[in-house]
Amino acid sequence: MDEAKLIRRAISGDREAFASIYMLYRDRLYRYAYFKLRSSDDAEDAVSDCVVRAFTAIRRLKNEKAFPAWIFRIMYRVCAEMIESKIKRNADENVDEAIVSVEDSHMSVELSEALDALSPGTRDIVLLSVVAGFNSREISSLTGIKASTVRSKLSRGLAKMREILS
C-alpha cells in the first residue's frame, strides 16, 4: 500500500496503518533526534514521545501530503523541549555539557566538533537537510525561515563543516 493511503487510513483511526507509517519514518526520526540530542537514549525517548504525540493528534492532520513536515515539526519540538529540560536540570553546568554527554555519544569526535562549530539555527538546518532529507522549502515550513535563507545557511554551514573536516 502506498504511503498516502496509509496516512489517510491512519487519519481515519486505523492503528495498523499508523504503525506502518511509523515503520517508514522511525529511522529518519531517530537519526534526526540522535544528531540533535547527541545521545542514543535521548533519541529513543524523543522518537517515542514524538510518535505518541503524533498518534494522539493525527486525526487533526488535514492533508496526507503534509505528514512528513508535520511529524518532523513534532520531533523538532520534542528535541527542543528535551534540550531545554536538560539545560534547566543542569543550570550550574556548562550549556555544552548539558547538551552533549561525551561518554554516551557514538558520533565521531570530528563530526561532533564540526556540528558544534555551527550556530544552533544553522545546525538545525543542516540536520533537517542531511539527516532528515528535507529540501529548503520543507525546512522553511518547519522552521519559519525563508527558503532562500535556509539555502544560504545550509550552503555556508556545509562549507564550514567541510573546512573543519578537511
- Domains by residue range for the chain, with CATH: 1-103 (1.10.1740.10), 108-166 (1.10.10.10)
Element of type H or E holding 15: helix 15-37
pLDDT at 107 (0 to 100): 57
pLDDT at 98 (0 to 100): 39
3-state secondary structure 57-107: HHHHCCCHHHHHHHHHHHHHHHHHHHHHHHHHHCCCCCHHHHHCCHHHCCC
Q: How many whole angstroms separate alpha carbon 19 and alpha carbon 15?
A: 6
Q: Give ∠ CA 75-80-83 in degrees, rounded to 5.
A: 125
pLDDT at 94 (0 to 100): 45
Enumerate residues 6+ apart whose C-beta is below 8 A from 36: 43, 46, 79, 83, 124, 127
- φ and ψ at 146, to 5 degrees? -55, 145
Q: What is the pLDDT of residues 98-111, one digit of tens each?
A: 344 444 444 567 88
Q: How many whole angstroms separate alpha carbon 129 and alpha carbon 121?
A: 12
Q: At 139, list the grid cell.
A: 525546512
pLDDT at 1 (0 to 100): 72
Q: What is the DSSP string of 121-155?
A: HHHHHHIIIIIT---HHHHHHHH---HHHHHHHHH
Predicted TM-score of the model (pTM)? 0.73
Q: How many whole angstroms separate alpha carbon 136 and alpha carbon 52?
A: 27
Q: What stretches in the chain show pLDDT beneath 50? A: 92-106
If DSSP codes are grouped into helix, strand and coil, which group holds residue 46?
helix
